[in-house]
Amino acid sequence: MNATTIRIEPIGAALGADVHGVDLSVPVSDDAFAIIAGAWRDHLVLRFRGQQLSDENLLAFSRRFGPLDKAPINPYGTTWVPENPEINVISNITTPEGQRTGGLGDGEAEWHADMTYTDAPPKGCMLYALEVPLSGGDTGFDNMFAAYEALPAATRERIATLSCKHDASRNSVGQLRKGFEENYKDVSEVPGAVHPLVRVHPETGGKALYLGRRRNAYVMGLAVEESEALLDELWAHITKPEFNWHQQWQVGDLILWDNRFLLHRRDAFDPKARRHMRRTQIGETEPVLGIQS
């Protein structure tokens, strides 16, 4: 793939860009990759339309960004694609025998970032569309740099040194994860990783809110009521439309997003419609930096 064919076109006011002139089924040259990596840093979400990718193509492009995480274990005790355990399948499709072929079903997924309840959450994710419903199932992305910048100065000052616990016990559709029990007195006892409330970009020094997900979050050191009030205030702010953009999927779309400085969500869709996406997750090699790090 030659760098001279690439054109980057911003999509939404808040974030995102289309990358034109790239065929990801063939190896991407170093020059072309440098343009793509720079555009990803600047726009946070990149969309590559009209792609025709095998799992191997998707893996090869994903690995250019760093080592990949393995897909989570599914209800059948394996990964969805055992021969390629770094491929996750997001799908509501079942086999004629009624067996699921992927995760997340057809319901809404609330705003969240992936796996921030761990100490080393992923850097980014790719989602590639093979089958999409005629309507619904849009995926939203929310720009946490823009949301941070738009906070009142007093709030920015107040949260500068605070940190937040990210609940490990429930997933983005609210289900209790395997191995967890709900036996805590209040959210201050919920298990999960603690991260700064303001995350700093390791290359640019840009500051962004780092919230993970709302359910069971807790701002360390505050009374529970105070933590709830602060988090409610921050979540009411960040979910304003000016900070987000929603992707309406077409077959052949590949989306690459930054999991460190964005939240994402998904609209529900008709359970009778088919939606089939292949997903990879790029691991993070840098620590989570806060203002004081």
103-104 vs 88-91, strand pairing mode: parallel
CB of 92 to ligand SIN, least distance (A): 10
CB of 27 to ligand SIN, least distance (A): 26
When the beta carbons of 129 and 197 are compared against ligand SIN, the nearer one is 129
When the beta carbons of 164 and 255 are compared against ligand SIN, the nearer one is 255
The residue among 40, 176, 199 whose CA lies nearest residue 116 is 199
When the beta carbons of 109 and 159 are compared against ligand SIN, the nearer one is 109
CB of 266 to ligand SIN, least distance (A): 4
CB of 158 to ligand SIN, least distance (A): 30
**Which amino acid is located at 60 in the chain?**
A
Phi-psi domain of 227 (left: phi exceeds 0; alpha: psi -120 through 50; beta: other): alpha
CA 119 to chain centre: 16
The residue among 33, 7, 38 whose CA lies nearest residue 20 is 7
CB of 96 to ligand SIN, least distance (A): 23
When the beta carbons of 139 and 143 are compared against ligand SIN, the nearer one is 139
Torsions phi, psi for 164 (to 5 deg): -130, 140
Report the interface residues with ligand SIN, using CB under 6 A: 90, 104, 109, 127, 139, 264, 266, 277
Q: Residue number with the shortest CB distance to ligand SIN?
A: 139
Q: How far apart are CA 115 and CA 212, in angstroms?
A: 8
State the DSSP code for 105.
Answer: T
When the beta carbons of 151 and 253 are compared against ligand SIN, the nearer one is 253
CB of 41 to ligand SIN, least distance (A): 21
CB proximity list for 119: less than 8 A, separation 6 or greater: 193, 288
Residue 280 near residue 68, CB atoms below 8 Å: yes
When the beta carbons of 109 and 209 are compared against ligand SIN, the nearer one is 109
